[in-house]
Structure formats: structure tokens, C-alpha cells
């Protein structure tokens, strides 16, 4: 796991403010004051279903309960937890639609008021990716191929954009969530009652993740100084060249990571606080 990190970019903290705080509630913007004017100017353009689906598919399952759709008139529809998958996906697409419209309105209002003087296209792309991650994906960064589709970029340019984004936000936002997500993944998918398999001359387990980047993140956790101090430095992630979404961990590595007496997860969670905990 020796991919070089992306080039750091000077950071500028951006947040929704004023009337645009409604971006956090998933509502579509209210009609403008001249809504009854004859149709002389371009009207609203609907987002493509394929685009909404890409956004919706990268919302973490544990965040579904926060995906509330507001109708703009005070009513709200919570996530239909007991509905079938088709209804749930439709709800998530409507949720994404509302958030994208609020983010777009916020961006334009800030720009027209002279409060968002982007110098380069890359600055604007990073700002938009920040908004998508913070207000739609809860910092679950999709694969580069999906970023390329959303931003209308080549895969190479999407890789570069993601590298810059990770370089800017990894310590503050991404890494704390990565840690918790991967420990949840291990606890959910590791069954100590199942006999380990033999691979790479070790006994252990193979796991399959939805995003190839998660394998790099698991490797980063094992190389974290705190983890190496607690469980030693000879624990590595084995990868499969034929499948970039599968990895293998030795049995002793998994047991050490999940052992509450060793306390790796608790120690990392204390060191790397969630964004909501960082000002407490």
C-alpha cells in the first residue's frame, strides 16, 4: 500500500449560514418572488435519475434514519424503514434532490454576493465535493469512477480531485469516520465460530468491501502509531490482484483489533474524534 498522497491544497473552511442553513434539512428551495412571471427565462431543470441514484447509493445505511424529506410547507417524511427497497431508493433520491437544490442555491447566492471568490476551477470542485460529503454522504467518499461521473471528469482527473480532497480533509473529517466504519465492518463480518482459511501462508479471513479505497484505509489503520504500539507492527493487509475490493487479514490481526481488553478501537476513537465531538 504505497500510493503517494495527493498534493495538499490550502484549506478554506466553508459552511452553510443564514437562510442557507436549510441546506441541512433536505428541502427544495421555495419558489422565487417572481414565480408567476411569464416564462421568459430558463426554468428549473430536473436532475437526472441516474445522477440522483449515484448520490443516493453512497449514503451509508446507518445514516438512512437522518434522511428526512421536507415538502417546503412544514411537512416532512421520514425514511420508510419498513418499506421495500424500491420505495426506500425513491425516498433517498427525493432527499438527494432537495439537498442538491439547496447546495446549488447556497453556492450561487454566495457567489453573486461576492463571498465566494473562487480563483480556480479546482477550488470550486473541491468546495462542491466538500458540500456533497458533508451534507449528503456524511463524509462517505465514493469511488473515483462515481466522482468522475458526477463532476463530468475523466477517471484520471477524478483521481487527482479525490487525492487533493483527502489531503485537505483527512485528519479533520475523514479519518475519524473511516476508523469507526471499518471497525463496524469487522465486527459485522467476522465470525469467530467459522474456521479460518489458509491464504498467503497464514490462517485468516478474506473480506470484500464495497469501495476499493477501504482496503487502503484498513492498511492505514494498521500502520497507525497507536495501533502498532498496542498490537505490534507486523500486521499487514493482504490484497488480491484479481479483485481490488477483496482483502485478507490474519486471524491474530483481527482478534487483536477487536479485543476490548487491548482497546484499539476505544483508543483510536478517543484520539480521532468525530466532527460533532471536536468542539466539545
Residue 4: DSSP 8-state: P
DSSP 125-146: HHHHHHHHHHHTSTT-PPPHHH
Q: Is the dihedral of CA 148, 154, 156, 161 positive or negative?
A: negative
Q: According to the model, what pLDDT value does residue 14 have?
A: 45
Q: According to the model, what pLDDT value does residue 220 have?
A: 85
Q: According to the model, what pLDDT value does residue 98 have?
A: 94
Integer Cα distance of 213 and 86 in angstroms: 28
Q: pLDDT per residue over 112-143, tens digit each?
A: 888 876 778 898 999 999 999 989 998 888 88
Residues of the chain with pLDDT under 50: 2-15, 17-23
Q: According to the model, what pLDDT value does residue 148 have?
A: 95
Q: pLDDT per residue over 208-237, tens digit each?
A: 887 777 788 888 888 888 888 888 877 889
Cell numbers describing residue 92: 433517498
Q: What is the pTM of this model?
A: 0.68
Amino acid at each position: 500500500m504505497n500510493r503517494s498522497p495527493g498534493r495538499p491544497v490550502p484549506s478554506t473552511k466553508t459552511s452553510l449560514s443564514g437562510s442557507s442553513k436549510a441546506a441541512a434539512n433536505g428541502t427544495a428551495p421555495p419558489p422565487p418572488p417572481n414565480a408567476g412571471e411569464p416564462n421568459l427565462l430558463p426554468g428549473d431543470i430536473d436532475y437526472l435519475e441516474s445522477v440522483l441514484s449515484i448520490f443516493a447509493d453512497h449514503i451509508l445505511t446507518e445514516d438512512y434514519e437522518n434522511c428526512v424529506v421536507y415538502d417546503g410547507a412544514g411537512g416532512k417524511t421520514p425514511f420508510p424503514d419498513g418499506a421495500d427497497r424500491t420505495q426506500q431508493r425513491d425516498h433517498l433520491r427525493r432527499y438527494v434532490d432537495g439537498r442538491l437544490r439547496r447546495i446549488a442555491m447556497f453556492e450561487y447566492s454566495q457567489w453573486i454576493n461576492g463571498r465566494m471568490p473562487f480563483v480556480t476551477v479546482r477550488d470550486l470542485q473541491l468546495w462542491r465535493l466538500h458540500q456533497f460529503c458533508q451534507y449528503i454522504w456524511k463524509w462517505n467518499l465514493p469511488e473515483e469512477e462515481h466522482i468522475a461521473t458526477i463532476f463530468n471528469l475523466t477517471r484520471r482527473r477524478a483521481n487527482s480531485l479525490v487525492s487533493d480532497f483527502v489531503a485537505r480533509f483527512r485528519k479533520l473529517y475523514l479519518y475519524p469516520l473511516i476508523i469507526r466504519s471499518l471497525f463496524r465492518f469487522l465486527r459485522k463480518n467476522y465470525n469467530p465460530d467459522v474456521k479460518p482459511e489458509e491464504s498467503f501462508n497464514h490462517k485468516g479471513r478474506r473480506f470484500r468491501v464495497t469501495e476499493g479505497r477501504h482496503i487502503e484505509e484498513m492498511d492505514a489503520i494498521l500502520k497507525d502509531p497507536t495501533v502498532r504500539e498496542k498490537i505490534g507492527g507486523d500486521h499487514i493487509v493482504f490484497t488480491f490482484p484479481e479483485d481490488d475490493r477483496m482483502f485478507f487479514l490474519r486471524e491474530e490481526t483481527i482478534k487483536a483489533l477487536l479485543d476490548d481488553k487491548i482497546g484499539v478501537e476505544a483508543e483510536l476513537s478517543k484520539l480521532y474524534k468525530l466532527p460533532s465531538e471536536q468542539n466539545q
